[in-house]
Amino acid sequence: MDIRFPSEGMELHSYCGLVFNMPAELIPERLASEIARVGHLSLWEYQHFTNHEHPTIGEEDYAAELELAQGWATALQSAFPDKRFVVEISPFDRTTWYQPLGDAPIDDEEVWELYSPPVCMSGAEMKAGLLEVFSALKTGEGGVGAFTEQQKANFKARTARRGPEGVCEKCGSDQGFSEPTVERAHRGVRMMNCLACEARVVHSTRTIRDRIGF
């Protein structure tokens, strides 16, 4: 099992109009093995899956996501000035990019999640979770969509709720939190402070997408 963690630099190559971050001679074999492993995905979904990384794995520092996304945007634009891409961040979870083919989403998700993804998970837990994902994809039970929904539910179930009625993870107080403010550089993140200990906490997230070359 080969799980790649950030960030191994960009080796952007085009194959039949699709852009992947790997040497051109590896693309056909990699695509064939992904198809065998994951089953049917549309072309943008293959890119979305193949190109993703976890820059904030086990950490709360969201700056790494911004850095990675900005680096990708610059590299994609300079290598393929005539192509369009979407660089996507699911805050504290994953960052990826793809070409906007077919029904690929190109705008931010409208709804803020009430729960945060697992920002407090350790790197080891995250790796174990990824292995679960791969094994479920292999067996194909319920398909990728069903598995993703299940994963989201699992994350929510084991992630402490953060909100006016939540409990502060730092001090345990249930006094609540300040009004959330949107982090300007990272519009998928809202920040709040515990009213008791003033600890800064990340409240909620949504998927954010930047259009490159539109």
What does the alpha-carbon distance between residue 60 and residue 52 come to, in Å, rounded to a whole number? 18
Among 170, 181, 182, 211, binds Zn ion (CB under 5 A): 170
Q: How many residues bind Zn ion (CB under 5 A)?
A: 8
Quickly tell me which residue has 């009004």 as its tokens.
179
Least CB distance to Zn ion at residue 116 (A):
16
Contact indicator for 191, 200 with CB cutoff of 8 Å: yes
Please state the φ and ψ torsions of residue 55, each to the nearest 5 degrees: -70, -20
Among 194, 202, 208, 212, binds Zn ion (CB under 5 A): 194
For helices 27-38 and 43-50, angle between their N-to-C axes, nearest 10 degrees: 100
DSSP letter at 165 equals T
**Residue 185 touches Zn ion, criterion: CB under 5 A:** no
Least CB distance to Zn ion at residue 155 (A):
22
Neighbours of 177 (CB within 10 A): 22
Least CB distance to Zn ion at residue 196 (A):
5
Q: Closest Cα to residue 200, out of 1, 77, 60?
A: 60
**Residue 114 touches Zn ion, criterion: CB under 5 A:** no
CB-wise, 162 or 186, nearer to Zn ion? Answer: 162
**Residue 160 touches Zn ion, criterion: CB under 5 A:** no
**Residue 168 touches Zn ion, criterion: CB under 5 A:** yes
- The CA dihedral of 69, 181, 148, 214, to the nearest 10 degrees, is -40
CB-wise, 151 or 193, nearer to Zn ion? Answer: 193
Contact indicator for 201, 194 with CB cutoff of 8 Å: yes
Neighbours of 204 (CB within 10 A): 19
CB-wise, 23 or 172, nearer to Zn ion? Answer: 172
Q: Residues 23-62: x/- map of binding to Zn ion (CB under 5 A)? A: ----------------------------------------
**Residue 171 touches Zn ion, criterion: CB under 5 A:** yes
In 99-182, which ranges are E strands? 181-182
Among 63, 197, 200, 211, binds Zn ion (CB under 5 A): 197
- 26-34, 62-70, 142-150, 165-173 -> range binding Zn ion (CB under 5 A): 165-173
- Where on the chain is the footprint of Zn ion (CB under 5 A)? 168, 170-171, 173, 194, 196-197, 199
